Amino acid sequence: MPDADRAPADLAALAARAHALRRHVVSLVGPLGQGYVQQGLGAADLFACLFFSELRYRANEPEWPERDRFLLSTAHNSALFHAALAESGQLAPELLPTYCVDGSTLEVNVSERLGPVVEATFGSLGQGLSVGLGMALAGRRHGAGYRVYVVLGDGEMQEGQLWEAAMAAGSFGVDNLCLIVDRNEMQVEGHTDRVLRMEPVASKWASFNWAVQEVDGHDLAATLAALARARATAGQPSVIVARTRVGKGVGFLEGQYGHNMKFSAEHAAAALAELDARGPAC
């Protein structure tokens, strides 16, 4: 893969980043007693790949015009997002304890009150891809070098607007657009199949003229390779359907379908102890 503008991946370093992100997620949600801990643990490996290998940004220049655009359509996966910003030098770490505190800019649904590092505000599900498409079309028309990355929760595939955007992106053939579907199979009421049948997911995207890859979202090397292939794809938008497991990395949380889950300080302490005992998985 043409990877000239990226250093060769150091998988051990990425695993350490993912581990640090998981520690943050647990630490941020624990004091609240409830929150989006499961999604954060589940997507930590994806975020490690994105923020510490794939995305191009300047931590001290959030409005750098050539930065890649990162859009978190699942804005409630905010513990993980704020953690990734702090770990990547884009957010002062001392702000993390203000997460979800009244008056804080670190909201439970990420908002642009935080600053320009938040490219757009979501929370109303299914909107991220449309905004990403607008940015991709603008970038293509302006000959800009940036790419647009949208992280989508799989439950968002139930929103009609998502398919409007999918059809338009496939039709316009914007190859500077990469969608990552966090296929954790969880939504508010539990397993996605308990709500609506989602499968087959990959062929849905293929039929909308997207370049589709399926990947184990906890396999760092495979995820990086998929992102690189997406970058090398011409004439089509790319989607990476990343299969992830909610609660990943903490035995008693893995596979527990809790959307906005009760999570006590005791749970947090036990989770941290287990994460520390396990260390980074690589």
Partner 1 sequence: MLSGAAADLRVGDFTSRAVVPKVYGEALLEIAREDPRIVCLGADLSPATETDLFRDALPDRFFNLGIAEANMMGVAGGMARCGDMPFAHTFGVFATRRPYDQVALQIAYPRANVKIVGFLPGLTTLLGVSHQAIDDLALMRALPNMTVLEPSGPAQVRAAVRAAARHDGPVYLRVRRAEGPLPADFEAEPLAIGRASVVRDGDDAVVFACGAMVEIALAAATTLAGAGHRVAVVNVATLKPLDAATVIQWARRTGVVVTAENHSIIGGLGSAVAETLLEANVAARFARIGVRDTFAEGGSTPYLFDKYGLTAGAIADAVVRLRSRAP
What is the contact surface with partner 1 in residues (CB under 8 A)?
Answer: 112, 119-124, 127, 129-139, 141-142, 144, 160-161, 164-165, 167-168, 171-172
Nearest CA-CA partner of 89 in 58, 121, 120, 119: 58
Tell me how far, at minimum, the Cβ of 238 lies from partner 1, in Å. 17
Tell me how far, at minimum, the Cβ of 119 lies from partner 1, in Å. 7
- Nearer to partner 1 (CB atom), residue 87 or residue 119: 119
- Nearer to partner 1 (CB atom), residue 83 or residue 152: 152
Nearest CA-CA partner of 44 in 91, 79, 69: 79
Q: Which residue has the tokens 């009244």?
A: 102
- Nearer to partner 1 (CB atom), residue 169 or residue 268: 169
Dihedral angle sign, alpha carbons of residues 13, 241, 133, 159:
negative
- Nearer to partner 1 (CB atom), residue 151 or residue 246: 151
- Nearer to partner 1 (CB atom), residue 133 or residue 201: 133
Tell me how far, at minimum, the Cβ of 50 lies from partner 1, in Å. 19
- Nearer to partner 1 (CB atom), residue 112 or residue 216: 112
Tell me how far, at minimum, the Cβ of 151 lies from partner 1, in Å. 15
Tell me how far, at minimum, the Cβ of 234 lies from partner 1, in Å. 19
- Nearer to partner 1 (CB atom), residue 34 or residue 111: 111
Tell me how far, at minimum, the Cβ of 175 lies from partner 1, in Å. 16
Tell me how far, at minimum, the Cβ of 218 lies from partner 1, in Å. 30
Q: What is the CA radius of gyration of the chain?
A: 18
> Contact, 230 vs 191, CB < 8 A?
no
Q: Which residue has the tokens 């397993």?
A: 191
